[in-house]
């Protein structure tokens, strides 16, 4: 017995040491053969994570680190080791032609990525956005189809968007009267008007964010100096608790994106964090109430298609049609209907306001672009203001204004609201001459070489389909100067027609801010429709004056989206009509 104990005490440390060593080696990053990576990262248990954390601390950015990694290694394709302990590497691609090919032509080889897919499956498990391109996703698209139709945009979205923009103009006129040309922070104003609009489109009810701000102006400014460039600070408005709760839930995916435990952390937080748990409960109650009211309206004897005033009502009408066609019982408040409606709200809650905030920064900083845009609006819409000082809905959306379209396209390209498109390999694939196994997360960058900086020189022989003429030619009609890719130039989206006029060309160059292909952003039409209305009406009424350099910073901060760190404006009432 003593001998056995002695043997155990001798060999136990050895066994434990060997097991620990083997476990440590198994947890170390395992590079994919042939794809460039930082050699030191493969020798660290945390891989590239320390470098990423250091980069985030210095820049407040996250995703741009991936593009900088390609620049550092001088390669359009690299691999990163971000999530430790047996996780697979991420592959980063900074080439717009390859990204376009993957997003549009290689959809059977690449599907919705898991990094962004899993948080959606936790927050809205019955919505299609977080799932692979299969039956559930197709079912959700059938349910949501009408919410991006021309009829929905014209009859439902347009009036709500027009009303929201008018409310913002009213608020800014009141603030301009106090500020008298001095700067003030417009970030929360732009967030509120976009949130008001998407709430109204989703539910047909007023959220009242801008109205609350107008009411708050009855109090004097917190700070209103007489100095020309000193910031005016206005009192904050109070909002209904239910809208704060919904905003809390909508922002929760940030937990997954910033945690090493990803969606597991988000699932735990939604269930056990008291603030989030109560917010989810009130969010669910609110959506149920909105659906109950929409269902009651739908069943009124006098109800007709012309009475439909929200996405909730459209979804119910669509569910009735689909259930009748398939012979099943109508469930107007099914888990899918609830989750898709909440996801509809999510789509316009963060990305839309972020893009609009960048847009106003571009206009303040690029006075020449603003002057050209206001001149284009005046020339195109002046006749549409005979009965109203502001252009009508029909005029805004039916009149061709090439420079406006070019501005909006360039704004979405350079706002970098979404800095990448995530995909996952569904089979072994080859990209730029490199083998990538099944199940690897691939990040297609919207920033960096070929997007905002000169591209890498890639031989055609490295591209897929060496003998396929479709993959050997550029998918774009323009030929942009490589060193100008990071410059804000709406003109790059215009081409001269035979009669000498300029036309908007959406195929002039790469812009993957909304993704592309079947998994591209479902809400793109609504987003562009909303932003078009807002910019036309605001620029019709105001000039954005230049800002002092300390308030004109384009420094970003990465939250759920890539947002400007500061957002100031100096307004001057200068109607075009």
Is the confidence at residue 466, as pLDDT, over 50? no
pLDDT one-digit tens code per residue, 218-263: 777 666 555 667 899 998 888 788 888 888 998 898 888 888 788 8
CA distance 349 to 243: 12
Structure tokens at 331: 């469930």
Which range scores top for mean pLDDT: 64-68, 227-231, 493-497? 64-68
Structure tokens at 214: 């107008």
Determine the pLDDT at residue 420. 92
Query: Quick one: pLDDT band at residue 356, thresholds 50, 70, 90?
Result: very high
Q: Which residues contact 371 (CB under 8 A, 6 or more apart)?
A: none
C-alpha dist (Å) from residue 159 to 85, 204, 309: 52, 11, 9
CA distance 363 to 351: 19
Query: Quick one: pLDDT band at residue 11, thresholds 50, 70, 90?
Result: low
Residue 417's CB is within 10 A of a number of other CB atoms, namely 24
Between 55-64, 123-132, 432-441, 506-515, the lowest mean confidence (pLDDT) is in: 123-132
Between 62-66, 125-129, 282-286, 411-415, the lowest mean confidence (pLDDT) is in: 125-129
Cβ pair 377, 400 in contact under 8 A: no
Percent above pLDDT 70 for the chain: 90
Query: Quick one: pLDDT band at residue 446, thresholds 50, 70, 90?
Result: very high
Is the confidence at residue 74, as pLDDT, over 90? yes
Is the confidence at residue 57, as pLDDT, over 90? yes
Query: Quick one: pLDDT band at residue 470, thresholds 50, 70, 90?
Result: low
Determine the pLDDT at residue 12. 56
Q: Which residues contact 513 (CB under 8 A, 6 or more apart)?
A: 412, 413, 415, 416, 417, 418, 446
0.95 surpassed by pTM: no
Is the confidence at residue 486, as pLDDT, over 50? yes
Determine the pLDDT at residue 222. 64
Q: Is 449 helix (H, G, I), strand (E, B) or coil?
A: strand
DSSP assignments along 337-395, one per residue: HHHHHHHHHHHHHSHHHHHHHHHHHHHHH-HHHHHHHHHHHHHHHGGGGSSSSS--HHH
CA distance 456 to 473: 16
* Higher pLDDT, residue 546 or 5: 546
pLDDT one-digit tens code per residue, 170-216: 999 999 999 999 999 999 999 999 999 999 999 998 888 899 999 88
Between 146-160, 342-356, 435-449, 468-482, the lowest mean confidence (pLDDT) is in: 468-482
**Residue that the structure tokens 């910033």 belong to:** 258
Q: Which residues contact 183 (CB under 8 A, 6 or more apart)?
A: 229, 230, 231, 232, 547, 548, 551, 568, 569, 570
How do the domains of the chain map onto residue ranges? 145-417+513-573
CA distance 549 to 229: 10
CA distance 116 to 343: 14
Fold classification of 145-417+513-573 is Cytochrome p450 (1.10.630)
Cβ pair 554, 564 in contact under 8 A: yes
Query: Quick one: pLDDT band at residue 15, thresholds 50, 70, 90?
Result: low
φ, ψ of residue 93 to 5 degrees: the values are -125, 125
Determine the pLDDT at residue 379. 92
Determine the pLDDT at residue 460. 87
């Amino acid at each position: 017995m003593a001998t056995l104990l002695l043997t155990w005490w001798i060999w136990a440390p050895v066994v434990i040491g060997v097991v620990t060593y083997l476990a440590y080696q198994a947890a170390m990053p395992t590079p994919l053969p042939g794809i460039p990576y930082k050699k030191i990262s493969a020798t660290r248990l945390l891989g590239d994570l320390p470098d990423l954390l250091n980069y985030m601390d210095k820049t407040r950015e996250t995703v741009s680190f991936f593009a900088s990694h390609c620049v550092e290694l001088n390669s359009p394709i690299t691999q990163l080791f971000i999530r430790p302990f047996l996780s697979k590497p991420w592959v980063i691609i900074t080439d717009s032609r390859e990204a376009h090919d993957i997003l549009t032509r290689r959809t059977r080889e690449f599907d919705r990525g898991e990094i962004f897919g899993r948080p959606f499956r936790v927050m809205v498990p019955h919505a299609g956005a977080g799932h692979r391109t299969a039956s559930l996703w197709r079912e959700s698209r059938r349910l949501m189809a009408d919410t991006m139709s021309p009829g929905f945009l014209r009859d439902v979205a347009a009036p709500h968007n027009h009303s929201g923009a008018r409310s913002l103009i009213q608020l800014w006129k009141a603030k301009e009267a106090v500020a008298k040309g001095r700067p003030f922070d417009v970030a929360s104003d732009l967030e509120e008007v976009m949130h008001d609009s998407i709430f109204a489109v989703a539910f047909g009810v007023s959220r009242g964010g801008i109205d609350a701000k107008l009411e708050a102006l009855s109090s004097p400014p917190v700070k209103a100096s007489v100095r020309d460039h000193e910031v005016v600070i206005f009192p904050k408005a109070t909002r209904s608790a239910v809208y704060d709760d919904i905003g809390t839930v909508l922002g929760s995916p940030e937990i997954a994106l910033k945690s090493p435990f990803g969606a597991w952390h988000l699932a735990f937080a939604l269930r056990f964090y008291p603030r989030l748990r109560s917010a989810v409960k009130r969010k669910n109650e609110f959506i149920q109430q909105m659906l109950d009211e929409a269902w009651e309206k739908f069943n009124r004897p006098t109800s007709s298609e012309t009475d439909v005033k929200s996405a909730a009502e459209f979804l119910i009408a669509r569910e009735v049609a689909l259930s009748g066609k398939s012979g099943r019982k109508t469930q107007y408040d099914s888990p899918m209907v609830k989750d898709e409606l909440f996801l509809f709200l999510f789509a316009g809650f963060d990305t839309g306001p972020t893009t609009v905030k960048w847009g106003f920064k571009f206009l303040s900083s690029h006075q020449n672009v603003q002057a050209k845009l206001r001149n284009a609006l005046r020339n195109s819409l002046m006749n549409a203001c005979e009965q109203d000082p502001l252009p009508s809905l029909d005029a805004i959306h039916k009149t061709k204004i090439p420079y406006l379209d070019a501005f909006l396209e360039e704004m979405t390209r350079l706002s970098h609201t979404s800095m990448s498109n995530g995909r996952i390999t569904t089979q072994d694939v080859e990209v730029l001459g490199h083998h990538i196994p099944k199940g690897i997360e691939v990040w297609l960058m919207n920033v960096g070489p070929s997007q905002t900086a000169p591209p890498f020189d890639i031989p055609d022989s490295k591209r897929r389909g060496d003998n396929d003429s479709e993959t050997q030619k550029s998918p774009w009609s323009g030929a942009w100067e490589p060193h100008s890719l990071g410059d804000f130039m709406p003109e790059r989206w215009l081409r001269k027609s035979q009669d000498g006029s300029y036309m908007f060309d959406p195929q002039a160059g790469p812009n993957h801010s909304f993704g592309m292909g079947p998994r591209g952003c479902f809400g793109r039409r609504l987003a562009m429709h909303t932003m078009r209305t807002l910019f036309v009406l605001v620029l019709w009424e105001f000039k954005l004056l230049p800002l002092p350099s300390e308030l004109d910073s384009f420094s970003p901060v990465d939250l759920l989206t890539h947002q400007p760190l500061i957002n100031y404006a100096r307004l001057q009432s200068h109607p075009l009509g």
